[in-house]
Structure 1
Amino acid sequence: MSTATHRSASSERGLARTAQALARWTEKWFPDAYIFALGGVVIIALAALVNGSSAQSVVDAFGNGFWDLTAFTLQMSMVVLTGYVVATSPPVARLISRLARVPQSAATAVSFVALLSMSVSVLNWGLSIVFGGLLARAIARRTDLRVDYRALGAAAFMGLGAVWALGLSSSAAQLQATAASLPPALLEITGVLDFGKTIFTWQSMLTCLILIALTTVIAHFSAPTGDAIRTAKDLGVDLDDQPEPAAQRERPGEWLEYSAILPVLLGLLTAGWLVSQFASKPFLSVISSLNAYLLVFLVLGLVLHRTPRNFLQAVTKAVPATAGILVQFPLYASMAAILTKAEGAGGVTLSEHLAGFFTDIGSGGAFAVVIAVYTMILGIFVPSGGGKWLVEAPYVMQSATDVDMNLGWTVQIYNVAEALPNLINPFFMLPLLAVLKLRARDLVGFTFLQFIFHLPVVLLLVWLLGMTFSFEPPVIPEPAAP
């Protein structure tokens, strides 16, 4: 073994030891994310009682608020489902096969996967995580290129670990742009914030570009080389992706199930509706509409799979990935209701107390950094961008108003910091791990390295760019006529 190869192998082993120790600790001590959600409800309920709220007001807020986010829960589940369906369609599979032939070295392959994963996540994080996993597998199947499969897998996760919340499927930005999905208590504080005030600000887009560049460079230079490389074969992973045999039509009544006629007609109908929306409404209001976004992706998945039968088979495979959202979001709704509705001593809610706390410690220009650090820490225990925003937003946005921090940028402070815990907590790795056939401990070493670099950069960006904004009072929409 040459000196250079020995040095790279030794360095990789040192990083791997640290990474594996962290992964073993998280796998041993971190329970399922649902346990954190259950515990969060109990802790907030107890905190409300300590704050002076009556037991009756706490249980009423819990029960009455449990289904407040039904529409948003379905919407977030559909983000995952539509992304999965589009990523597994035949045209995307052919695209992935062609892209897999582009990289010409191991390090370039890893950084290439990271770059594409992040680029796709700007459109849809659910699409990104499946697309990245399939691309990693396609590159790993190449016989002319020896690449570390763990590094490829970690790179495939970078869309969700770096910039997803700065893109179009950002849960917080989508929620703030959709009045019907906002809890009334939050709507009264923030009003509606379309994408022009959040993800489409130049500060947000610059942050996104910086993080994409940073992540790509780290992925490139941290890719194992020489004897340190562990391929999929070394890890015991079978890369043979044999397509399922096409189902055969058995009855005349099944004809339309195996025909492309209805998907094409529905695609044309959706395209016509989209043209009408852009012709009659402001561009940002259409782009910011979560319902429009999901409609387009759902029908796109149907068209790309060509027949209703193929589409439904893809949906069946995608549904399990939505389970965590379906059972956790009602608990987040209850947390938000207890925070904002269970009044304590003097008629002050727990949310108002927290708002005062963050206002006090966040004065003097430190607000952006304080909120970013708090969001990151909370995200380790509540790994859900949309659900956590509903818990955090009432007091964070009230604090932002109190210290004259721009509300749109406050959403983006949350968004850029919210992605950081994904690099540590493997909850959202689960769909990717199923595609890669790996364990979280195989990837955490590489994602933790990204976290070490991302944290100071994120804190610096939210502080410096926050100073370029001015405060804009919220515009509260008029209630709809009965």
Structure 2
Amino acid sequence: MATAPPPKPEPTPAAQPEPPTTPGSDTPGTDNWLARMALRFTAFTEKWLPDALGFVLVGTFAVFALGLATGEGLYGRPDDPADTAGFGLVDAWGQGFWSLITFTLQMAMIIIAGYAVAVSPPMSRLIARIARVPRTPRGAIAFTAAVAMATSYLNWAFSLIFTAILAKEIARRIQGVDYRALGAMAFLGLGTVWAQGLSGSAALQVASEASSPPAVQEVIADGRGSGLIPLTDTIFLWQGMVATAIIFVIAVVMAWFLSPSPERAKTAEQLGIELGPSVAEKRAETRRNRPGEWIEYSPVFAILLFSLGVWYLVRHFALAEGDPLNALDLNTVNLILILLALILHWRPVRLAQAVKEGTPAASGVLLQFPLYGGIFGMIAFTGLSKTIAGWLVSVSNEFFYPALIAIYSMVLGVFVPSGGSKWVIEAPYVLEAANQLQVNQGWMVVVYDLGEASANLLQPFWMLPTLTILGLKARDIMGYTFAMFLACFPAVLILVTLFARTLPFP
């Protein structure tokens, strides 16, 4: 009897590649809810938000309308030409338009000098080396956020340029990293911890007799007997440092979870952005063609000029009253950056080339800062600023005052992103109210700084240098910065309220 042949084995299905997996996500190829939220915000901002120039144009007329709604007049000038209050909205806009011109040039120089430092051969090698640290797209985004905050704590201007170039280098190395999220994290230091660091404008102003106006010193003296608040009572308060550390941790964790999965990420190539050569690649050497060019090509004058600058800086800080850090202002920061760029490039001709390459990064500042100056004028040179502050103080008490001032500082910072210079206008009534409510004055400087930094996550003013270097638009990254704001700012409000209870008055 014939037996049936044994059944043939079923063919084994060909192995299928597993869908891409994002580290930390629950399901392969899917995003966690934070990443989905950031992507939705980004989709909204890409479609509906204008670019940075459109933002300042809309902001101009929003403030104008607010002024009209609160009873400010269209026209009017004070009897005393030296007064900075009593203007109508139209005249205040004109007065304010060029009020930030010195600040504009300082900012343009700080961007250009910071760029020159960041692209110098030693810094380029450093950037190329640390760009190799992250191994995954999610790790790259969290790492960029950490570097941005660490460098901004030291100096916010250097951070803007250094981290933008680092982000670009990371994008060349890490396949599938979302370039929009990377750009947002490169800017993160300006939206979180910069004002609590060594270049925090308000803290430096109230610590220096030369920088703090007499009117501000009088209000401070009413509460503490002395017209100055040393840095030990502002940025070096343990409460301030702990609050800064907590915000740092929250932001890094958020950066980790905000990273989209590879299939939903948009790389620089997909956005149509050319990354260009790596910073590690050697620059083409320019050759000296005639004897007269020896000065530009020789390191001799670079060394001599650097030595002269260091000699001056030593005297400048040594002669400062009180803490040497009180002598640190934007002009001093610019001088330090230029001297560093000079010695790091070694030959003056290389520095000149770096400055030429970095100048386009300041173009947005040169155009938009005067427009922000007009907004500043409509708020500071009319009664609008005191009206806004009055609303907050009228509903405040000792417990809620720090949180309300953080909100006030954040809201006003959206329309007047001055990097701390508007503190001079607002300090008298912010500190006077603190005296009346018996809230620690130094802590109010910390509160004001944390609120002002948070505003940078909601408007594109300080994003301009980073965006220019990365080739992005404000709408590309503001979905991510808004998601970061939703996590960090509530934490700021809780921290400033709780820590205020641990500080005595004055």
Q: Give the TM interval when normalised to the shorter protein.
A: 0.7 to 0.9
1:297 aligned onto 2:320: no
- In 1: Cα distance, 2:122 partner to 2:446 partner: 34
1:415 aligns to 2:449 (yes or no): yes
Corresponding residue number in structure 2 for 1:153: 183
Report the more deviating stretch, 362-371 or 435-444.
435-444
Determine if contact 1:287/1:293 at 8 Å carries over to the other structure: no
Match of 1:164 in 2: 194
Q: Any conservation in 1 of the 2:101–2:370 contact (CA below 8 Å)?
A: no
State whether residues 41 and 482 of structure 2, in contact with CA within 8 Å, keep that contact through their aligned partners in structure 1: no
Q: In the TM superposition, what are the counterparts of 1:432-443 in structure 2 within 5 Å?
A: 432-443=466-477
Query: Is 1:21 equivalent to 2:60 in the alignment?
Result: no
Question: Is residue 2:350 matched to residue 1:310?
Answer: yes
2:289 match: 250
Question: Which residue in the other structure is 1:93 paired with?
Answer: 124
Write the distance in 2 (CA, Å) between the matches of 1:367 and 1:202: 20
> Which of the pair has more CA radius of gyration?
2
Q: 1-side partners of 2:50 and 2:94: how far apart?
A: 33
Query: Which has the higher mean CA deviation after the structures are superposed, 267-276 or 156-165?
Result: 267-276
Are the counterparts in 2 of residues 123 and 169 from structure 1 also a CA contact under 8 Å? yes
Q: Which runs of 5+ in 1 are unaligned?
A: 340-348, 473-482
Structure 2 counterpart of 1:125: 156
Q: Does the CA contact (< 8 Å) of 2:167 and 2:186 recur in 1?
A: yes
Task: Judge conservation of contact 1:51–1:350 (CA < 8 Å) in 2.
Answer: no
Partner in structure 2 of residue 480 of structure 1: none
CA change 1:30–1:77 in 2 (3 A) is closer
Amino acid at match of 1:8: D
Q: Which residue does 1:286 correspond to in 2?
A: 325
Instruction: Note the alpha carbon deviations across 1:39-69, whole angstroms, 9 max, x for none.
Output: 7579669968569987655379888888776
Q: Quote the residue 1:346 is aligned against.
A: none
Which of 255, 267, 273 is residue 306 of structure 2 equivalent to?
267
Corresponding residue for residue 404 of structure 2? 370
- The Cα of 1:298 is off from its aligned counterpart by 2.5
> Any idea what the Cα deviations from partners look like across 1:257-308, whole Å, max 9, x if unmatched?
2222222223223334444556565672335521444332231122222222
CA apart distance, 1:240:
2.2
The letter of the residue matching 2:450 is V
The aligned residue for residue 342 of structure 1 is: none
Please tell me whether the aligned partners of residues 199 and 205 of structure 1 are also in contact (alpha carbons under 8 angstroms): yes
Contact in 1 for aligned 2:45/2:476 (Cα 8 Å): no
TM-score (norm 1): 0.82
| Partner Cα distance (1:289, 1:262) in 2 | 26
Matched to 1:138, the amino acid is E
- Report the secondary structure of 1:141's partner residue: helix
Match of 1:428 among 453, 456, 462: 462
Counterpart of 2:454, as a letter, is: L
Find 1:230's aligned residue among 266, 279, 299: 266
**Residues 1:33 and 2:63 aligned together:** no
Aligned to 1:103: 134
Partners of 2:432 and 2:76 in 1: CA distance: 20
For 1:333 and 1:422, locate their aligned partners in 2 and report how far apart those are by CA, in whole Å. 16
Structure with higher helix content:
1
Question: Hey, what's the Cα distance between the residues in 1 that align with 2:29 and 2:388?
Answer: 53
Cα pair distance change 1:250/1:362, threshold 3 Å: farther
Structure 2 unaligned residues grouped into runs of 5+? 1-17, 20-25, 80-85, 221-226
What one-letter code is carried by the residue in structure 2 that aligns with 1:31? G
In structure 2, what residue type is equivalent to 1:407? Q
Partner of 1:405: 439
CA RMSD, Structure 1 to Structure 2 (Å): 3.6
Report if the CA contact (8 A) 1:45-1:58 is conserved. Answer: no
Q: Percent sequence identity over matched residues?
A: 38
Within the candidate set 237, 248, 267, 1:212 is matched to 248
In the other structure, the counterpart of 1:116 is 147
- After superposition, what is the alpha-carbon deviation per residue over 1:228-267, rounded to whole angstroms, capped at 9, x for unaligned? 3332223322222277644433343322122222222232
* Contact 2:378–2:384 under 8 Å retained in 1: no
The answer to whether the Cα contact below 8 Å between 2:434 and 2:444 also exists between their aligned partners in 1 is: yes
C-alpha distance in structure 2 between counterparts of 1:154 and 1:76, whole Å: 20
TM-score normalized by the length of structure 2: 0.79
**2:484 paired residue among 430, 446, 450:** 450
> How many positions carry a matched residue from both structures?
462
Could you tell me whether the CA contact under 8 Å between 1:359 and 1:400 is conserved in 2?
Answer: no
Q: 1:314 to 1:176 in 2, by over 3 A?
A: farther
Q: Using a 3 Å threshold, how does the CA distance of structure 1 residues 194 and 334 change in structure 2: closer, same or farther?
A: farther
Moved more, 63-72 or 89-98: 63-72
Q: Indicate if the aligned counterparts of 2:139 and 2:256 stay in contact, CA closer than 8 A.
A: yes
